[in-house]
A and B are shown apart, each in its own frame.
Chain A
Amino acid sequence: MSDSTTNRRVRTHVTCTVNGDEVDFLASDDTSLLDALRDELGLTGAKEGCGTGDCGACTVLVDGRINCSCLIFAPEAEGSDIVTVEGIAEGDQLHALQQTFLEGAALQCGICTPGFLVSAKALLDQNPDPTETEIRYALAGNLCRCTGYDKIVRSVQEAAVQLRGASR
């Protein structure tokens, strides 16, 4: 059973839902979900920043909760429901957060942005009217080395206002 003596890379067939579509892929057991999303499914939105769960650039929703996809082994995704940044727009219609990030210049290099968008969406889905402090704590697992965070926080606040208006 064990492959420890052969050093063979075991590949597992994984079936899961990604952005609403059922998908399946083959991935080595030591592959991260992040690498499987990027390399097997071509979803290159989620980024690898640190690879150790510190920076949040690889954040995706797994069964409705934010997770660092770099910390998840690809076979763990079997049967789960995954949403990446590619799944938060409605067709060509950007999500309010994507629009306010653009208009508010809440990004410079953009590496952290997909993670921020997914984390911010998870926050607003749960708490449509967060305080600035709540936003900052909710995004504490996402690091940005360009913007100084203020534009990101303001863009989330603006998106929250728009989304509350839209749901009235």
Chain B
Amino acid sequence: MRYAAPATVDEARALLSDNPGSQVFAGATDLVPQMRSGRPAPSVLVDLKRIERLTAVTHEDGQWTIGAATPAADLTRDAVFTAAFPGLSEGAGLIGSDQIQNRSSLGGNLANASPAADSVPALIANAGQAVIATADGTRTVPASEIVTGPGSTSLAEGEFIVEFTLADPPAGTGDAYLRMIPRTEMDIAIVGAAVRVTVDGDSISDAIVVLGAVAPTAVVVPDAAAALVGASVAGGSIDQSALTALAEAASAACDPIDDKRGTIVYRRQVAGVLAKRAAVIAVERAQNGV
């Protein structure tokens, strides 16, 4: 196995196309454990962190651009980013320990394709777009279209995620991400829920609900969002019948695994509860800021 640290996207692209069996990485927080548990080593390890664009965070003309290999800690420590996307910052801040957050990235968390990836639901809820380096250029797709199942993605051989773009949220928008883990810290979600709402006057005008860890991929739940849209938030509290409908829709959208960390019944139940709680926080943020 050879290590390579390209300085540009073009160099990385060439390394990948010249070396069958090569693989990109950022923090290697998933790659090293996978190699340790017997996954064959890549022919060439292509380190993306020396490419300036891959670790740059910029905000221009109403759009954020987040390098795919940017450490999660850079995002959680960025007060302006966190004020714009508090739920996404929360999700990024839940990926492992402080040590891990100095290495883990949105690109890696997504491309590793774990159903339980903590940054993914809020990335999707904020309509994140992934800019992908292809063999001869780039293509841009919604982040929601990258993961196709546990450990599998729609990225073709030699393709890699360069950056994510996120539009500034509309006025009156708030998001939140909550997860359930069997421990207090340092564990993998058995349910994750991201909710983003836009509040117009005394009601919710737009919503998106995305669940993690309850299906082979993160799932967008349109019925749950529909339950919120139009709901009254007068006085700062969401109409109870809307919250009940939200929870029912969230639970119904689950197709979870059944294991010792969480049964199907439990994961379904918790998905509804977390969706409600995340919605309450998102509305509070939409009305009052972070």
Chain B residues with Cβ under 8 A from A65's Cβ?
Answer: 73, 102
Is B28 a contact partner of A52 (Cβ separation < 8 A)? Answer: no
Contacts of B21 in A (CB 8 A): 2, 4
Within 8 A of A (CB), among B1-41: 1-3, 5, 18-22, 27-29, 32-33, 36, 41
The smallest C-beta distance from A27 to any residue of chain B, in angstroms, reads 10
Is B240 among interface residues, defined by CB-CB distance under 8 A? no
Is the Cβ of A51 less than 8 Å from the Cβ of B36? yes
For A81-120 the 0/1 string (1 means CB < 8 A from B) is 0000000000000000000000000000000000000010
Verify if B47 is at the interface (C-beta below 8 Å from A).
yes
Instruction: Please determine whether B99 and A3 come into contact, CB atoms closer than 8 angstroms.
Output: no
Q: Does B185 contact A (CB under 8 A)?
A: yes
Q: How far is the CA of A81 from the CA of B41 in the complex (A)?
A: 27
Establish whether residues B99 and A119, one from each chain, have CB atoms under 8 Å apart when the complex forms.
Answer: yes
A1 touches B19 (CB 8 A): yes
Shortest CB-to-CB span from A6 to chain B, Å, is 10
Which one of A2, A53, A54, A66 has the greatest number of beta carbons of chain B within 10 Å?
A53
Complex partner residue of A73 from B18, B20, B28, CB under 8 angstroms: B28
**B241 contacts which chain A residues (CB < 8 A)?**
none
Task: For the complex formed, measure the closest distance between the CB of A65 and the CB atoms of chain B, giving whole angstroms.
Answer: 4
Q: What's the interface size class on A, roughly? A: 35 or more
Given A4-B19, A71-B32, A140-B185: A30 and B102 interface contact (C-beta under 8 Å): no
Indicate whether B186 reaches chain A with its CB closer than 8 angstroms: yes
Chain B residues with a Cβ closer than 8 Å to the other chain, count: 31
| Residue A45 is within 8 A (CB to CB) of chain B in the complex | no
B184 closest partner in A (C-beta)? A140
A residues 1-17 touching B (CB-CB < 8 Å):
1-4, 9-10, 12
Instruction: Fill in one digit per residue for A50-61: 1 if any B CB lies within 8 Å of its CB, else 0.
Output: 011110100100
Residues in A33-84 with C-beta less than 8 Å from chain B: 51-54, 56, 59, 62, 65-68, 70-73, 75-76, 78
A130 at the interface (CB under 8 A from B): no
Known A-B contacts A4-B21, A65-B73; A141 and B43 likewise in contact (beta carbons under 8 Å): no
For the complex, is A129 an interface residue (Cβ under 8 Å from B)? no
| A163 proximal to B (CB < 8 A) | no
Q: Is the CB of B99 within 8 A of A12?
A: no
Bound complex: CA A93 to CA B186 (Å): 34
Name A115-165 residues within 8 Å CB distance of B. Answer: 119, 122, 137-138, 140-142
B3: which of A54, A56, A76 is its contact (CB, 8 Å)? A76
